[in-house]
Structure 1
Amino acid sequence: MDWDKLRIFHAVADAGSLTHAGDSLHLSQSAVSRQIRALEEALNTTLFHRHARGLILTEQGELLFDATQSMNKRIDAATARIRDSEEEVFGELKVTTTYGFGALWLAPRLTKLYEKYPDLNIDLMLEERVLDLPMREADVAIRMKEPSQADLVRKRLMSIRMRLYASPDYLAANGKPQRLEDLSTHRLIAQSPTSAQVTAGAQLVQQLLSYDVPAKLTVNNYFGVLQAVISNLGIGVLPDYIIEDFPTIIRVLPEIESNEVPVFLAYPEELRQSKRVSAFRDFVQEEIIAHRRQLRAMGDD
């Protein structure tokens, strides 16, 4: 099959438009249209439904698009490995992690990585959904549990726990709880029970709510919980890794915390020799070591 026609087909399917595909390929709309017609004739099938708002793949088109998408990912992986055979660390690295960890811990530290490797481009994808690393939806993942996918290199980075925190101003105005029963006079801020989160965090919140907490604020991510705590709205359930960067926040009820949550870094076996992956992995490990030292110095480890 003509690879050039497949490349043009993939661009059209991805863009949903002959014009937009032509722009990305630096071809005229008529040239793109001729290639698609030739491919449809070669396959003796219709690949697109055409309508006023653009192009929609037919069932046969969807099958072909799945194949070209898989081919593109494999080509990207091969290209990355070829480029990483050089000594320099450069190019794009797709990193996925949870919204809370990525926004509150990882992103603020990336300055150091860019200072060391200015030609490295990080595509940071923050979401709770577990991306498929072997299919190259991402190159590296940092997750709050051990990845279950096959053919991955895994490394345990650290463990975290969910704990209770409040701002000094909130505690000055409302008093500091001395026991769990005292939560009945406070507002609890936590992740929404329906939002994706680690099991240990959800279990701790359920335990706290059993003490007849009359007022609560739920948010679908830890960044929102943190902002509410900083804004003096109540006592928040937050991961302990935030404390280094927000030292004014006070831990309350220090005997109360979630079970331990392991944090893993993982990447596909085929990227084991990748210099970009190695540079990112080493950077994260160095920051974890510095993080632990800081927590010990603060007496909160």
Structure 2
Amino acid sequence: MDWDKLRIFHAVADAGSLTHAGDSLHLSQSAVSRQIRALEESLNTTLFHRHARGLILTEQGELLFDATSSMNKRLETAAARIRDSEDEVFGELRVTTTTGFGTLWLAPRLGKLYERYPDLKIDLMLEERVLDLPMREADVAIRMKEPSQADLIRRRLMTIRMRLYATRDYLDAAGELSSIEDISDHRLISQNPTTAQVAAGAFLVQSLLNQEIRSTLTVNNYYGVLQAVLCHLGIGVLPDYLAEDFPHLVRVLPDVESAEVPVFLAYPEELRQSKRVAAFREFVMEEIMAYRKRKVEDEPN
């Protein structure tokens, strides 16, 4: 098959429009249309259903798009490895992690990385869904569990726990807690146990909800939980790494916490020599080591 026609087909399938594909390829709509018709004729099949709202792939078109998507990812990988042969760290690095960790811990620290490598372009993808690294949905992942795929390089960064926090203003107004039973008289702010999150956090929240709490506020990510706590709305279930960056948070019921949650950094074996990945890995490890040191220093003797 003609590689140029496959490239045009992939752009059309991705955009769902001849016009939009033409814009991205710097071709006219008629030129794109001719190439698609020629490809369909060479394959003796129809690749798109034409609708007023755009183009929809046929079953045969879906099969071809899967193939061109795999080809495109391989080409991106090859291009990345070629770029990484240079001495300087530059170009795009796609990093995925959870919304809470990415928003509350990683993003505020990225300024230091940009100071070292001002030409680096980071695409930070924050979601609870685990992206497929070998399929190049992302270059690097920071995950709240050990990756199960065998073709990944992984490194354990740290462990975290979910704990209870409130502001001093809230506790002064609503009263201190001396036992777990006291939480039923307060407002609990947390992720809903059915929301995508680490099992340890969901288990802790469910055990707290069993106390017949009179008022609750559930949010689908820790950033929202934190903002509600900072606005003195109640007692929040939050990851312990926030205590350093938000020193005004008061830990409530120190004996109540989740099981340990391991945090791993992972990337595909094929990016082992990537200078961009190495720069990001070293930066994260430095920040983790500094965090660990401060945490030990702050612990009571």
Tell me the TM-score range normalised by the shorter chain: over 0.9
Shift of 1:295: 2.1
Residue aligning to 1:125: 125
The AA in structure 1 aligned to 2:273 is Q
Distance 1:42 1:119 in 2: 44
Task: Provide the secondary structure at the position in 1 that maps to 2:197.
Answer: coil
What's the CA shift for 1:150? 2.2
Shift of residue 299, structure 1, vs aligned partner: 2.5
Return the offset for 1:294.
Answer: 2.3
Indicate the percent of aligned positions where both proteins have the same amino acid.
78
Say whether 1:171 aligns with 2:162.
Answer: no
**TM-aligned CA deviation for residue 53 of structure 1:** 1.1
1:20-99 correspondence to structure 2 within 5 Å: 20-99=20-99
Partner of 2:259: 259
Residue-by-residue CA offset, 1:178-224 (whole Å, 9 max, x unaligned): 11111121111111111001111111112212222111111111111
Question: Following TM superposition, by how much is the alpha carbon of 1:300 offset from its aligned partner in structure 2, in angstroms?
Answer: 7.6
Provide the rounded CA distance (Å) in 2 between the counterparts of 1:45 and 1:14. Answer: 19
Q: Which residue of 1 aligns with 2:196?
A: 196
CA gap of 1:300–1:126, structure 2 versus 1, over 3 A, is: farther
User: What displacement does 1:297 show?
Assistant: 3.2
Give the deviation of 1:168 after TM superposition. Answer: 1.0
| Deviation string, structure 1 residues 53-97 (Cα, Å, up to 9, x no partner) | 111111111110010001000100111011101111111011000
- TM-score, normalised to structure 1's length? 0.98
RMSD of Structure 2 on Structure 1 (CA): 1.1
Q: Alpha-carbon deviations, 1:19-41, whole Å to 9, x = none?
A: 11111101111111111111011
Q: Secondary structure at the match of 1:10?
A: helix
- What are structure 2's unaligned runs of at least 5 residues? none
Please give the alpha-carbon distance, in whole angstroms, between the structure 1 residues aligned to 2:23 and 2:156: 44
Matching of residue 268 in structure 1 with residue 271 in structure 2: no
Helix, strand or coil at the partner of 1:252: strand
Q: Give the Cα–Cα distance (whole angstroms) in 2 for the partners of residues 294 and 240 of structure 1.
A: 13
Please tell me the residue identity of whatever aligns with 1:266. A
Q: After TM superposition, give the deviation of residue 298 of structure 1 in Å.
A: 2.9
Please give the per-residue CA displacement for 1:109-161, whole angstroms capped at 9, x wherever unaligned: 00000110011111000000111100000100000000011200010000000
Match for residue 250 of structure 2? Answer: 250
Give distance in 1, aligned partners of 2:235 and 2:298: 20
Aligned equivalent of 1:283: 283
Letter in 2 for 1:189: I
SS of the residue corresponding to residue 61 of structure 2 reads helix
| In 2: Cα distance, 1:62 partner to 1:104 partner | 39
Answer whether contact 2:193 2:203 (CA < 8 A) is retained: no
d(CA) in 2 for partners of 1:298 and 1:73?
Answer: 46
Count of aligned pairs between the two proteins: 301
Distance in 2 separating the partners of 1:199 and 1:54? 42
Name the SS of the counterpart of 1:255 in structure 2: strand
Distance in 2 between residues matched to 1:110 and 1:57, nearest whole Å: 40
